[in-house]
């Protein structure tokens, strides 16, 4: 298992759809309905800059990227594999 951070950025015209997508994923996480091996650890948004960061546990960075591609969020995004330093 790895920890991944996905950084989302969206345009104002896509803001409602971006938050709808994130809300749906948070709901799935709360109801334990994310695909096996994936766990949402936390989600942060800065609506002023139209940016969000979501932290997940996933089988691999590649598996996470494949899942995100299927979801096709209405955002520009980048995925990072991270290690906890402190």
What rounded mean pLDDT belongs to the chain? Answer: 94
In this structure, what are the phi and psi dihedrals at residue 44, rounded to the nearest 5 degrees? -130, 140
Q: How confident is the model at residue 56 (pLDDT cuts 50, 70, 90)?
A: very high
In this structure, what are the phi and psi dihedrals at residue 54, rounded to the nearest 5 degrees? -125, 135
Find the mean pLDDT for residues 27-55. Answer: 94
Cα–Cα distance, 41 to 10 (Å, whole number): 22
CATH code, domain carrying 13? 3.30.70.100
For residue 19, pLDDT beyond 90 = no
Chain centroid to Cα 84, Å, comes to 18
Domains identified in the chain, total number: 1
Domain encompassing residue 67: 2-82
For the whole model, what pTM was predicted?
Answer: 0.89
Cα–Cα distance, 51 to 63 (Å, whole number): 23
pLDDT at 47: 75
pLDDT at 57: 98
């Amino acid at each position: 298992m790895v920890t991944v951070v996905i950084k989302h950025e969206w345009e104002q015209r896509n803001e409602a759809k971006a938050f709808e997508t994130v809300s749906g994923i948070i709901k799935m996480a709360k109801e334990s309905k994310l695909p096996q091996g994936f766990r949402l650890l936390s989600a942060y948004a800065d609506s002023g800059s139209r940016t969000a960061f979501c932290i997940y546990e996933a089988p691999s960075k590649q598996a996470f990227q494949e899942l995100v591609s299927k979801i096709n969020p209405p955002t520009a995004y980048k995925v990072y594999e991270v290690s906890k330093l402190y």
